[in-house]
Amino acid sequence: MQISITGHHVVVTDSMRTYVHKKMDRIVRHFDHLIDVHYVLSVEKLRHRAEATLKVSGGDIHADAEAEDMYAAIDALADKLDRLVKKRKEKTTDHHAEEGRRARH
């Protein structure tokens, strides 16, 4: 899995990179089939925005979050991504379980 982090009107510091990687560890624990991850961190006046696109087999997962602080925006984004990844995992798990039940009957 490759993680790329870019900044739009903000310099991405080493501490921001470390924080994003730490938050991604939690997501990878729940869903380890990630191919590529692209983060965009941006600042417009007092609005800090973090958005990410996760490339997984079968499509992409996209989420974004805004906050007054960049680290808070990254936290909110990680929570959203975690929920979306769990939802994707449950869909694929449920789908295959349904096929197995149909084959037995």
What residues does each domain of the chain span? 2-104
Report the alpha-carbon distance of residue 68 to residue 20 in Å, rounded.
17
Sign of CA dihedral 3, 30, 88, 57: positive
Backbone angles phi, psi at 85, to 5 degrees: -65, -40
Edge-to-edge strand order for the sheet containing 2-8?
2-8, 34-44, 47-56, 59-67
* Per-residue confidence (pLDDT) for residue 98, from 0 to 100: 60
Report the alpha-carbon distance of residue 78 to residue 72 in Å, rounded.
10
The CATH classification of domain 2-104, taken from the options 3.40.50.300, 3.40.1110.10, 3.40.190.10, 3.30.160.100:
3.30.160.100
Q: Which stretches of the chain score pLDDT less than 70?
A: 94-105
